[in-house]
Amino acid sequence: MIWGKKAAAGALAAVLMATGTGLVAAGTAEAAGAKYKCKAEVHLDLGRPKGTSSCKKSASGKGIGKHRVKLVCDVVRGRGNPHDISVTLFGPWVKPGKKSTVMCGFSSFTRSWSVETKA
């Protein structure tokens, strides 16, 4: 009787383990084929332009591995004869579920922003 219970428990454990392994494999396959739509936003943070990019799952998006924000700022240089210098800043490469953030310096104005992606 004891051996029968141990055998049944072992068989149940094997079935549950196989099911769990299948679920893990299905999760990675889904993540590999997932499609995302990315967007970039800019707002002021203590008077400095701050760019943020984020990606969300979407049926009509594209398959990506990482993304980052690209922010182009005009920096005002010089006091007597002020002139603008264009500076391009990039955020760190991050996975689709996370946000990439970068900030311009003081005395800067936002010219453009976008999201860069790679597979």
Buried (b) or exposed (e) across 44-77, using 16+ Cβ within 10 A?
eeeeebbbbbbbeeeeebeebebbbbbbbbbeee
Q: Answer with the residue of higher pLDDT: 34 or 110.
A: 110
Q: Contact, 76 vs 84, CB < 8 A? A: yes
Can you tell me the mean pLDDT for 78-101? 94
Average pLDDT over residues 92-109: 94
Tell me: pLDDT of 67 over 90.
Answer: yes
Question: What is the DSSP-derived secondary structure letter of residue 92?
Answer: P
Question: Is 9 within the bounds of a domain?
Answer: no
Q: What is the pLDDT of residue 10?
A: 53
The verdict on residue 51 lying in a domain is yes
In a domain, residue 15? The reply is: no
Q: Which long-range contacts (CB under 8 A, 24 or more apart) does 61-64 make?
A: 61/35, 61/36, 61/37, 62/35, 62/36, 62/117, 63/33, 63/34, 63/35, 63/36, 63/119, 64/36, 64/38, 64/96, 64/117, 64/118, 64/119
Token pair recorded at residue 103: 């900030």
pTM of the model: 0.67
Tell me, yes or no, whether 88 lies in a domain: yes
The tally of domains found in the chain comes to 1
Domain assignment present for 38 = yes
In a domain, 24, yes or no: no
Q: What is the pLDDT of residue 5?
A: 54
Domain range for 52 is 33-118
* pLDDT over 80 at 77, yes or no: yes
Q: Kindly state whether residue 17 falls inside one of the protein's structural domains.
A: no
Q: Is residue 19 part of a domain?
A: no
Summarize pLDDT for 27-63 with one digit per residue, the tens.
333 445 689 999 999 999 998 999 999 999 999 888 9
pLDDT digits (tens, 9 = 90+) for 8-26: 555 545 444 444 444 444 3
Least confident of 6-10, 44-48, 81-85, 98-102: 6-10
